[in-house]
Structure 1
Amino acid sequence: MTASSRAHSFNEAADQYAASRPSYPPALFDFIEQFTSRPLAGARVADVGAGTGIATALLRERGADVIGVEPGGAMAAKFRTVLPDVPIVRGDGNALPLADASHDLITYAQSWQWTDTTRSVPEALRVLVSGGALAIWWNTTAFDVPWIRGQHQRIAHHCGVRPTSRTRPDDSDAIRLAGLSGLRVARRQVRWSRTVSFGTHLANISSRSAFPVLAEDDKRAFLREERRRLREIFPDEAVEETYVVDLLVATRP
């Protein structure tokens, strides 16, 4: 499956994505403010690949003047339901539908990998004001937690993708792969967790990009077996999910 088709597969699970996907810890936004030396309150922010608005809502809570940018129709429709007073436009990071030098901060939560960095980096620099910042981050897998590592490997095998053994590359590789070489860049990793029901946890893992294209019978069988495994670890049916947020922040000249 191509990256483009996997990205758009999220449209098929917009409601599920909004209800089950994890949020992000306050420390993430604290570091963005620290690195950029300005508060999010009052900042003009574009949240690109906004999806159903998980990160957008947090940016707004910090007082940002935020707009969502989202390529998917179903995701954009759900965004409008969840955040009816926040503007959203259709588009993606390779060709931002935003004016030159119009924003203080551009954010990508879980969505930078869907861009072509030879296009998305120049686009971000075009839209940012002088001294503005680009922040990209992911909730990554806490591989040091045995049950999470085992589940990650089973999901990868079931969906026909290669499992990874670490969260993200080291600092220099991460910056190079993100296309941000030559800019002032900082990286932080923030560990956090949440406790959710079996239903929310299973909905979360089945909203990942490789799952929506699987046959329904295939998905149900996999999730049924995962529920059985989880009950052995969490007999009270409350799952503690642990994440490591991997954040890169870059400022333009």
Structure 2
Amino acid sequence: MTHQTPAHERALAFGRAARAYAAHRPAYPAPVLDALERLSGLPLAGALVADVGTGTGLAARALRERGARVIGVEPGAGMAAQFRRELPHVPLVRGDGNRLPLADGSMDLVCYAQSWHWTDPARAVPSALRVLRPGGALALLWNDPDPSVEWVARQQERIVERFGDGCYISDRTLPPGPSWRTAELRWSRRVSVDFHLAKLATHSAFIVHDGAGAAEFLEAEREHLLRRFPDGALDEPYTGFVAVAPNPGAPG
């Protein structure tokens, strides 16, 4: 099995694929944002939201389109540069999700979208709660391939065999302490096999192993998929997972 790259190195590696990430990773569909509002009890319209580990701004864009006032927080130079190209009018600060560069009690919502699994929860939870106002909420969002779909499960097995565990479908373990409210939603998008493979190449395992081994794996994966989907198109299935913890400093 391939040697595992340390988590922090894997997290920062996304900058090397920032343009492809922006082009091929899925957006956050409306039902995910509906669940975020329902679980938090906060309307997004007018809310001041920190999108932590914002990357290229996929969640920031969706939140802004719902009327939120978004501030992106991103540690990586490559992803931050792509964010500024994608969302030039949205404020962005360079910072670490474990130690937020934001004022105490300043945010209605602190959101980690597809980024919580790169944090140290023992540091990230207190940091997030510090910057929340009373009545605010900490939110964790994931958009992951749906392993209940047979072909996705088989693909996951091949990825784990080649690159190791924890490099494709995220660890959604919630930290103890906060009182979590959760929702899981299933959705899909229709894409070509080549588009799916380009999306696959934006996952950390393929970025940090970007030599011949990754290219060979993707070519073999194309053959697997074309046998399954001979017309060259597939429904790419996802689970959207939302976990919300109201600020324990909130009144009542």
Do the two structures share a fold, i.e. TM-score over 0.5?
Answer: yes
CA distance in 2, matches of 1:135, 1:162: 21
Secondary structure (helix, strand or coil) at the match of 2:180 reads: strand
Distance 1:189 1:123 in 2: 26
Aligned to 1:125: 129
Cα distance per residue 1:122-158 (max 9 Å; x no partner): 1111100001001102123322211111011111111
Which residue in the other structure is 2:226 paired with?
A: 231
- On the 8 A contact 2:167/2:204 being kept in 1, the answer is no
**Equivalent residue, structure 2, for 1:34:** 38
Q: Say whether residues 1:199 and 2:199 are aligned partners.
A: no
Instruction: Give unpaired runs (5+ residues) of structure 2.
Output: none
Shift in Å, 1:37: 2.2
1:115 aligns with 2:116: no
Counterparts of 2:210 and 2:239, CA distance in 1:
30
Instruction: Say which is worse superposed, 13-22 or 58-67, in terms of deviation.
Output: 13-22
Q: Structure 1: which 4+ aligned runs deviate by more than 4 Å?
A: 166-169
The answer as to whether partners of 2:188 and 2:238 remain within 8 angstroms in 1 is yes
Deviation at 1:167, TM superposition (A): 7.7
CA gap of 1:75–1:192, structure 2 versus 1, over 3 A, is same
Select between 138-147 and 128-137 the one with higher mean Cα deviation.
138-147
* TM-score calculated relative to the size of structure 1: 0.91
The gaps in structure 1 that reach 5 residues or longer are none
Aligned counterparts of 1:163 and 1:51: Cα–Cα separation in 2: 17
Matches within 5 A, 1:34-183: 34-161=38-165, 174=173, 178-181=174-177, 183=178
1:42-89 C-alpha deviation (Å, 9 max, x unpaired): 000000000000010000000000010000000000000010111111
1:162 deviates by 6.4
Aligned-partner Cα distance in 2 for 1:112–1:58: 18
Provide the residue aligned with 1:21 in structure 2: 25
The one of 182, 187, 196 equivalent to 1:187 is 182
CA deviation vs aligned residue, 1:207-242 (integer Å, no higher than 9, x gap): 111111214211211111111111112122112111
Partner of 1:249: 244
Aligned counterparts of 2:170 and 2:90: Cα–Cα separation in 1: 32
Distance 1:230 1:48, change over 3 A: same
2:212 corresponds to which residue? 217
Q: Kindly tell me: are residues 36 and 213 of structure 1, through their superposed partners in 2, closer, same or farther at Cα, counting changes over 3 Å?
A: closer
What is the Cα deviation at residue 168 of structure 1? 6.1
CA–CA distance in structure 2, aligned partners of residues 154 and 232 of structure 1: 16
